[in-house]
Structure 1
Amino acid sequence: MTDTVAPSITALSEAPFVAPYAAPNHAFDEAFEDNRQTRLPWQAVMTAVQQLGSEGMQDRHLRAQRILRDDGATYNLKSDPLSPNVWALDIIPQVMSESEWRGLEASLQQRAKLFDLIYKDLYGEQRLLKEGILPSEIVFSHPGFLRQCHNMHWPSETMLTFHAVDLVRDQTGRYIATGDRTQAPSGAGYALENRTVVSRVLPSLFRDSQTMRLSGFFQTVRETISRLASHITEAPRIVVLTPGAYSSTYFEQAYLANHLGYPLVQGGDLTVRNGKVWMKSLNGLSRVDVILRRVDDTLCDQAELRSESILGVPGLLEVARQGNVVVTNPLGSGLLETPALLAFLPAISQFLMGEELLLPSVDSYWCGNQEQLNYVLANIRNLIIKPAVRNLQSKSIYCHQLSDKELQRTIAKIKANPVAYVAQGYIPGSLTPIWDNGQMCARPGILRTFSVANEQGYCVMPGGLARVAESTNHLIVSKNLSGSRSKDLWILSDSAETDTDIPLDNLPISQAHVANLPSRVVENLFWFGRYAERAEMSLRLMRTIFKQLNGIDHFPTESREVLLGAMSEITGSLPGFQDDPELIENPNDELAALVANSQRVGSIKSNLQQMLACAEQVKEMLSADTRIILNELRDHIHSVDRAYVNGLPAVPEESLDGLVTSLLAISGLNHESMLRGMDWMFQEIGRRTERALLTANLLKHTLSRPLPSLQQQQILESVLLSVEALISFRRRYRTRARVSYGLDLLMIDRTNPRSLIYQIEQLRKYLEELPQTEQTSLGLSPDKRLIIKSLNDIQLADLEGLSQIDETTQTRQQLTELMTQVIEQLEKLTTLISDKYFDHTAGPQQLIKAKWKNNV
């Protein structure tokens, strides 16, 4: 990609860039001096904006949005996979000089060290409580204080691996901490994504600005996490524990897991056996040494913490206490996020480190202290009231925005339970420039920085996640990542940065070649393939129906009944067209519902939604091109919704072409680009199984009923057209439209990739390559017996006999019985695969390989 900004980007243009917005009142301006001239670190950025102009900036803004969407960058994903919230990013970076950064970096390193000492003290000697430095009510009344974690075993001197701080600038430009994130700090992955996107849309500016790189920070993350398990093994198995695909920050969790090279797992993927944590995978149980968690403390263990949690691993806490697994950040660290701690932080720093805090915290007052409570009540108009316990439901109360009545209610709540509230001074966020609606304007912003432990203390990411309010009406930026727009923070180096020396990992080659996937991942890929085939078959048959009903040739009632009845059977939306003459004569509403009604199980839109939901569950496994095609598929679905808003459109088959094309693109991409690993294998098994089931169903419900010659030819050609075989059929058999010829092409022709025998043979080949998790049994396994029986049934079929009409039933009874038998066997096969590889219903002992038994 070529940037149009001139190479001399760091030089000022002849006309200095003057602030396009008025000077803020009572707030610091990041980019402009009081005289509205550009601050020195910002001059290159403002010159670039000036040279690009409104049209160029808008083009780059739209390009950034496309990249984010193609990357699958989302926040606060809704239950509808068709409309995820794309991560909001402003393309104008926030800029800081290296000299300013170095001072802030030292302050952040000291603060991270202090919080590590606080954690170790509160879960160790508790000197802070014994000496009265920190009121015991703050700790013992907090649900985040986990007594089960007292004297927790830890393999390194530093226990708090990750630490994040939310910062604002006061009116003088001084950074002030407003809160700390110690439980499972989020945002570092979004910061990396922001850097990737902005550097792509403004490459010359990024290259010439000598911006400090982020790669060294993430390399330190890898090294630190690997060292945590050095007492267990030289090649630790590290996993990222996520709450799941509908976690608001799931994109970041998947993105970081991919970037760091760790498997992304959910609580159900892990199990505790004999004092250790294991990952349930296709190859059985694999021991886990380090868990990088993104699940809240109390949800991590149903056995000792919250029993109603579905996100954790029962028994995890006991294994961590024994030192057989390392969970980071350590459990119980959520306690340190209480804003009540800030009121006592200066005294704590003196007590634990003998040092003054380099980074001041916002003025904070714990209402459990009578003296501080009196101050709060006397000055409440100028304060922010926060719950002492942070959770998703907790909201800050900005008292200067309250009416008198609302203020009195707030005071009553504080007096009723003063221990539960903290008051803080209000500091307006500093103004920073953003690109909005084709022009530059200013928004108040805050900054989140990230630190990771290393052998010397803490390493701070040379950048961060800046966030700004979405509109001028929002003077307050939420500390949650939602409801705001993000920015990339550039630290401008005084000299060219040298490349980071990355040490080679001592990973055994045998382990490097094995991609041990959680069973949940392959199950979702299996169902992704199945739903894709269901949607494609339904779409193809639906297009065929539209062409026949609206074609130039007469389509008799008998033909309508068969084809429309098959549509109901294929989609499973019964009774549908079956035995309903009125619906067959006026099928438009039912057909429209089968296309666009997501509430109809089996409809095209419902299958596509289920397919996209499976894709969200395994986002980390999808390539960039696959994500782009899935986004195009979403666009086509929305186009179909618009086309069908008033029922069936005038030319309904054309509205479905985009959906079919997208599904074919996904299938082709997987076939040509995916490595032939277990992820590809299970997706293919899902596709082949579903295609075989649908083909057998289609043959059963279209060709088993005898019809007059004209209608029989129409139905046979409709079936062939729906599976893209009509042209091949005509070339091979000319105009002889016999049912036995159609069965030859659709059932036993190995050269037809959509024939029944082709699917069964592919399934047989894939089953041979799957790992065998059961103990060796005599003879063939049940799944292989089923697939061989189905193959033999098809190979031994007499096509002329199948096409004969039974005098008793007046149907092609043999064809019906054969297809019914094949369908039942394939459905049993899917159940066996699910039991064997996804649900592990064979029992826990059979999953453990013999070579592991000495270690269990």
Structure 2
Amino acid sequence: MITDSNILFQNYFSKSNNYDEVLKSNMDINPNWEQLLDNITSMDVDTLISKQNEINWLMDENGVTYNVYNDPKGMHRSWDLNIVPFLIDKKEWNTIEKGIKQRSEVLNLILKDIYGKRELIKNGIIPPEVIFAHRGFLRQCDKIDYTTTKNLLIHSAEISRGPDGRMWVVNDRTQAPSGMGYALENRYSINRILPSMFKDINVKQHYSFFQEFNQMLIESAPQNKPNPNIVILTPGPLNETYFEHAYLSSFLGYPLVNGNDLVVRNGKVWLKSLKELKQVDVILRRVDDTFMDPLELREDSYLGVTGILDVVRNKNVTIVNPIGSGILENSGLIPFMNAICNYFLKEDLILPQIASWWCGQEKERNLVLNNLKNYVVKRIDRSNRESIYFCEFLNKKELEDLKNEILANPYRFVGQEKISFSTAPDFVNGKLEPRKVMCRTFSIAKDDGYIVMPGGLVRVAPERENLFVSNQRGGVSKDFWVLTDEQESNIQNYAWDNSCSISISDINDLPSNTAENLFWSGRYLGRALMTARYIRMVLNTLSKSQYNSNTSEAESLKYLLQSLTNITSTFPGFVGKGSEELLKTPLKEIISLMVDQNRMGGFAQTLTSFNNSYYSLRNLWSKDMWRVFDSIQKLWTKFIEDDIYSIGSLTKLLDRIITRLIAFMGLIEESIMVQQGLLLYFIGLQTEQAMMQVAKCRSLLVFNYEERLQYEILESLLTSDESLNIYRYSYRSYLSLENVINLSILDKEYPKSLNYRLKRIQKDIDRLPHSKSKEMISDCQILIAKANEKISELTILSLTELNEDKTLRQKLDDALSELSDLLHETSLSVSNTYFNHSYQQTQLVNQNFPS
């Protein structure tokens, strides 16, 4: 018996309406949970709180996120994992496992039948409206024959314990089931933070399942092709489970690609690498059915691959799961599942379902309508919560509106029995509280059957007595333990067949979209760093000018403010209309440059672009990089929330962000090899820094100033580039224009000089894949060679020469202008040569696919 003296269980059962996983009806502890509770209660409350905080920290540090649209916490919300796992004993699991295998097989046979002979409809097992009125039925997939032994290769079932104490099936996920990566990360985190939780408990591990999963992908290749090329297709960084897409890409070692990385040619799917097209054999997709082929399905989709359905028909690519499998995510099938199981397998379903009545049948419709308050009503073709009506909570008008909606299209609705799922303990605010639980299990096709993951992903309601168990609504996850009598190591041991994937060990194999993101991540990082340093220099000068009446310093500040607008291209700023007033009180404009995300060229907009480009590549980066990246986000978020915009606070923020940006730059070189794509990052970084270097020199070195003012301008230029100490050490002299031009522009050895950067860009561009003919060179090679030829012809004497009226150095301005144009054209040429994703086919006839 649990006593009131145990603070962890204080008020645990204040409301005892639900079946609880831990406590029996007589308040005895379920024997399966005894050892786990002993392990938990062996730690005091403060220790448990500390461990929960450690897990929260680890999720944050490792960048485990779940994207929630319009979330006030931000797009990339940290994944919530509770320290108390959910467990099932081996005997019950054996039944569940058997039931999931059976259900996967039945769904596989349904999928074959729906797009094949349609015997279920012909023999009256299911009404035709259940299939043809469901938006998941795609006539374009009719009669497609597959080379794999099963049509349904991955199946995810959501299960929860019903009022009879048995696990019930609530939903099926078949298009692109998510959660395996999160389940793996949950186990890793609990193993790391709370190994003592496993004391005297044997828990089945996941590694054999993931080995089989990898092998399934290999064996699904058409014609049993050896060494197949496998990719993971993602909708992109804004997708809610993008972390998992990147996680599985890194974990399994397969390239993560977008739709525009792939192209159909000659009846096959090809990966657009930097050098050539490479045939793709297997696509593990995370894109929904109707978005997969804009030629035959949704023509407004940019997520899929034009013409891919025809390649599937010709058996030249395998898509996991097949396009069209969304028809199985159909609550209209539930009332008929037992009959379907008997028809195909001559046996009843092992796992029970929620009692359901399809409203397309008169008797069932009348039953639902006459007792609407007692039912949960769902549309057959929508699984999101907005399409679920908990009728007991609807008012009279809402009930009447729902009745009319059902009567208008009865075949679109299903009424389900209202049941309350079981609860399990969640550690919240220093005690255990019962929360509703939903489990997601996974099965994969193997030979003549299915293999089930031992455990899976467990989600719990965010609040006590909350009906919704959903990550989008703030749900929390748990590690899912399946108990066994056999001793299993908690060490994660994963070994893959390393002869089966596209290896990104060579830049020739780099997907073009990944290459583009690497290039732009370098450009945005370079821009962010140089912009931050320049604004910091201007702020420091502004701070000094407030306490100094020196005329030359005030005048130099004016030129620096104007140069800030020119360098960032944030016009009109300090140079256009209204600039006179801004120059008198410049802080307001500097704050706008810093924090206004809609200000093109401003620091906030640049930092946002850097964040987006980084997140698109997170499968390539190390955990240390994520930690530095995340620390930048937290610094920025806190700064914006505090809303204290003074010279001191802005300078302090920039100091801290600059340090982290530099750390990030160093970590990039540790995380990815040059021939795995780092080359593109270097080209982008050096190109952006060279372009900004040109802009700074044009703004500050072209005009002729009196001696004192000239000195301050030169000092500011070197300070903005962190080159002042280098200058002093190298020249050991008073600041002179000649020496500054030599160091900043012409020096061949100094990494921050324009000359050095141009040579570095040319060297890296020459290493890119080019024409097979050695006699032919690419446009970008020609352009950057011209830039290097131009700078090699420059001399100090010509660059310092003044025009006739002694106001400016025209030759310096002309040379920098020409170099700026050449750099811009080089960047465009690199993009046009390697990152062209503009090819798009369209349908002759528009097809309407409801969203």
TM-score, with structure 2 as normaliser: 0.93
Give the counterpart of 1:829 among 800, 814, 826.
826
Give the counterpart of 2:732 among 725, 734, 749.
734
Distance 2:74 2:28 in 1: 45
Any idea what SS the aligned residue of 1:556 has? helix
Amino acid at match of 1:570: I
Distance 1:839 1:624 in 2: 31
In structure 2, the CA distance between the partners of 1:148 and 1:805, relative to structure 1 (3 Å rule), is same
Shift of 1:242: 1.2
Is the 1:429–1:477 contact (alpha carbons within 8 Å) kept by the matching residues of 2?
no
Runs (4 or more) in structure 1 with deviation over 4 Å come to: 14-20, 77-83, 391-394, 498-504, 508-513, 840-844
Aligned pairs, number: 829
Give the counterpart of 1:258 among 240, 246, 250.
250
Deviates further, 726-735 or 341-350: 726-735
Shift of 1:529: 1.0
Show the counterpart of 2:269: 277
Distance 1:672 1:414 in 2: 60
Show the counterpart of 2:702: 704
Q: Does 1:634 pair with 2:627?
A: no
Show the counterpart of 1:719: 717
In structure 2, the CA distance between the partners of 1:720 and 1:15, relative to structure 1 (3 Å rule), is closer
Q: Does 1:530 pair with 2:487?
A: no
Deviates further, 763-772 or 682-691: 763-772
Is the 2:222–2:318 contact (alpha carbons within 8 Å) kept by the matching residues of 1?
no
Written as runs of structure 1 = structure 2, the 5 A alignment for 1:34-49 is 34-49=25-40
In structure 2, the CA distance between the partners of 1:82 and 1:559, relative to structure 1 (3 Å rule), is farther
Is the 2:594–2:602 contact (alpha carbons within 8 Å) kept by the matching residues of 1?
yes
Distance 1:779 1:162 in 2: 48
Alignment RMSD, CA only? 2.5
Distance 1:512 1:584 in 2: 52
Written as runs of structure 1 = structure 2, the 5 A alignment for 1:48-63 is 48-63=39-54
Q: Does 1:194 pair with 2:192?
A: no
1:789-835 CA distance string (max 9 Å, x none): 21222222111321222124721111111111111000000000000
Deviates further, 36-45 or 352-361: 36-45
Shift of 1:778: 4.2
1:396-441 CA distance string (max 9 Å, x none): 0001111122111111111111011001112212111111223221
Distance 1:457 1:828 in 2: 57
Shift of 1:151: 2.3
Distance 1:93 1:481 in 2: 21
Written as runs of structure 1 = structure 2, the 5 A alignment for 1:358-757 is 358-390=350-382, 392=384, 394-472=386-464, 474-478=466-470, 482-497=473-488, 505=497, 507=499, 513-514=505-506, 516-551=509-544, 554=550, 556-578=553-575, 580-642=579-641, 645-650=643-648, 652-757=650-755
Amino acid at match of 1:539: A
Distance 1:158 1:47 in 2: 44
Show the counterpart of 2:765: 767
Distance 1:685 1:109 in 2: 51
In structure 2, the CA distance between the partners of 1:369 and 1:170, relative to structure 1 (3 Å rule), is same
1:116-161 CA distance string (max 9 Å, x none): 1111111111111111011111112222112222221211221100
Stretches of structure 2 that go unaligned for 5 or more consecutive residues are 842-851
Distance 1:840 1:84 in 2: 27
In structure 2, the CA distance between the partners of 1:78 and 1:509, relative to structure 1 (3 Å rule), is closer
Give the counterpart of 1:68 among 53, 59, 66.
59
Amino acid at match of 2:646: L
Shift of 1:16: 12
Show the counterpart of 2:225: 233
Is the 1:387–1:394 contact (alpha carbons within 8 Å) kept by the matching residues of 2?
no
Is the 1:162–1:452 contact (alpha carbons within 8 Å) kept by the matching residues of 2?
yes
1:238-280 CA distance string (max 9 Å, x none): 1111111111111111112222221111111111111001111
Shift of 1:384: 0.4
Amino acid at match of 2:150: T
Show the counterpart of 1:4: none
Written as runs of structure 1 = structure 2, the 5 A alignment for 1:793-812 is 793-808=790-805, 810-812=807-809
Amino acid at match of 2:819: V
Distance 1:842 1:433 in 2: 53
Any idea what SS the aligned residue of 2:65 has? coil
Amino acid at match of 2:33: W
Is the 2:505–2:675 contact (alpha carbons within 8 Å) kept by the matching residues of 1?
no
Any idea what SS the aligned residue of 1:231 has? helix
In structure 2, the CA distance between the partners of 1:698 and 1:536, relative to structure 1 (3 Å rule), is same
Shift of 1:308: 1.7
Distance 1:451 1:436 in 2: 32
Any idea what SS the aligned residue of 2:726 has? helix
Stretches of structure 1 that go unaligned for 5 or more consecutive residues are 1-11, 845-856
Deviates further, 671-680 or 458-467: 671-680
In structure 2, the CA distance between the partners of 1:382 and 1:651, relative to structure 1 (3 Å rule), is closer
Is the 1:452–1:458 contact (alpha carbons within 8 Å) kept by the matching residues of 2?
yes
Shift of 1:39: 1.9
In structure 2, the CA distance between the partners of 1:504 and 1:563, relative to structure 1 (3 Å rule), is closer
Shift of 1:508: 8.0
Any idea what SS the aligned residue of 1:620 has? coil
Distance 2:19 2:728 in 1: 77
In structure 2, the CA distance between the partners of 1:82 and 1:749, relative to structure 1 (3 Å rule), is farther
Any idea what SS the aligned residue of 2:284 has? strand
Distance 1:126 1:559 in 2: 81
Written as runs of structure 1 = structure 2, the 5 A alignment for 1:65-104 is 65-78=56-69, 83-104=75-96
Distance 2:596 2:201 in 1: 52
Distance 2:385 2:99 in 1: 31
Is the 1:522–1:678 contact (alpha carbons within 8 Å) kept by the matching residues of 2?
no
Amino acid at match of 1:730: R
Any idea what SS the aligned residue of 1:183 has? coil
Shift of 1:454: 0.7
Is the 1:267–1:310 contact (alpha carbons within 8 Å) kept by the matching residues of 2?
yes
Amino acid at match of 1:760: L
Distance 2:827 2:69 in 1: 30
TM-score, with structure 1 as normaliser: 0.93
Show the counterpart of 2:848: none
Q: Does 1:119 pair with 2:115?
A: no
Shift of 1:35: 3.6
Any idea what SS the aligned residue of 2:517 has? helix
Is the 1:629–1:665 contact (alpha carbons within 8 Å) kept by the matching residues of 2?
yes
